[in-house]
Structure 1
Amino acid sequence: MGNKLITLTSLLRPKQRLMEFPEDFNQLELLDTHGHLIPRGSGSVWTGSKDDEEEAEEREHSEEWYLEKEEALKDEPNELILWAAENNRLATIHSLLAADPLLVHCCDEDGYTPLHRAAYSGHVEIVSALLAGGSKVNPRTIDGWTPLHSACRWSRVSVASCLLQHGAELNAQTNGGLTPLHLAASYTSFSKTDSRHTLELLLSQRHLKPGLRSSSGETAGEVARRSGPHHFMFEMVEDYVNVVPIS
Structure 2
Amino acid sequence: MEFPEDFNQLELLNSHGHLIPRGASSLWTGSKDEDDDEDITEEVEHDEEWYLEKEERLKDKPKEFILWAAENNRLSTLQRLLAADSSLVHCYDEDGYTPLHRAAYSGHVDIVAALLAAGSRSNPRTVDGWTPLHSACRWSHVAVASLLLQRGAELNAQTNGGLTPLHLAASHTSSSKTDSAHTLELLLCQRHLKPGLRSSSGETAGEVARRSGPHHFLFEMVEDCVNVIPMS
Unpaired runs of 5+ in structure 2? none
What is the Cα-based RMSD across aligned positions, in Å?
1.9
Q: Classify the secondary structure of the residue corresponding to 2:97.
A: coil
Structure 1 residues 220 and 113, CA gap change in structure 2 (3 angstroms): same
- Asked if residue 54 in structure 1 is aligned to residue 41 in structure 2, the reply is yes
Which of 20, 33, 38 aligns to 1:38? It is 20
Q: Classify the secondary structure of the residue corresponding to 1:168.
A: coil
Q: Which amino acid aligns with 1:101?
A: S
Given that 2:39 and 2:174 are in contact with CA atoms closer than 8 Å, whether structure 1 keeps it comes out as no
Aligned mates of 1:51, 1:22 — CA distance in 2: 26
Aligned mates of 2:7, 2:42 — CA distance in 1: 32
Aligned mates of 1:35, 1:190 — CA distance in 2: 19
- Asked if residue 29 in structure 1 is aligned to residue 11 in structure 2, the reply is yes
Q: Which aligned pairs between 1:171-182 and structure 2 lie closer than 5 A? A: 171-182=156-167
Q: Classify the secondary structure of the residue corresponding to 2:120.
A: coil
Q: Which amino acid aligns with 2:12?
A: L
Q: Classify the secondary structure of the residue corresponding to 2:42.
A: helix
Aligned mates of 2:28, 2:174 — CA distance in 1: 16
Q: Classify the secondary structure of the residue corresponding to 2:3.
A: strand
Q: Which aligned pairs between 1:7-156 and structure 2 lie closer than 5 A? A: 19-40=1-22, 45-48=27-30, 49=35, 50=37, 54-56=41-43, 59-156=44-141
- Equivalent pairs: percent with the same residue? 81
Q: Count residues in correspondence.
A: 223
Task: Show the counterpart of 2:192.
Answer: 207
Aligned mates of 1:140, 1:170 — CA distance in 2: 14
Q: Which amino acid aligns with 1:55?
A: E
Given that 2:75 and 2:110 are in contact with CA atoms closer than 8 Å, whether structure 1 keeps it comes out as yes
In the TM superposition, residue 35 of structure 1 has moved relative to its aligned partner by 1.3
- Output one character per residue of 1:83-127: Cα deviation in whole Å (capped at 9) or x when no partner: 000000000110000000000000000000000000000000000
Greater Cα shift, 146-155 or 59-68:
59-68
- Asked if residue 244 in structure 1 is aligned to residue 227 in structure 2, the reply is yes
- Output one character per residue of 1:31-60: Cα deviation in whole Å (capped at 9) or x when no partner: 11111222458xx6433524696221xx43
Unpaired runs of 5+ in structure 1? 1-18
Q: Which amino acid aligns with 2:83?
A: A
Given that 1:85 and 1:93 are in contact with CA atoms closer than 8 Å, whether structure 2 keeps it comes out as yes
In the TM superposition, residue 236 of structure 1 has moved relative to its aligned partner by 3.6
In the TM superposition, residue 244 of structure 1 has moved relative to its aligned partner by 3.5
Q: Classify the secondary structure of the residue corresponding to 2:162.
A: coil
Given that 1:51 and 1:190 are in contact with CA atoms closer than 8 Å, whether structure 2 keeps it comes out as no
In the TM superposition, residue 61 of structure 1 has moved relative to its aligned partner by 1.3
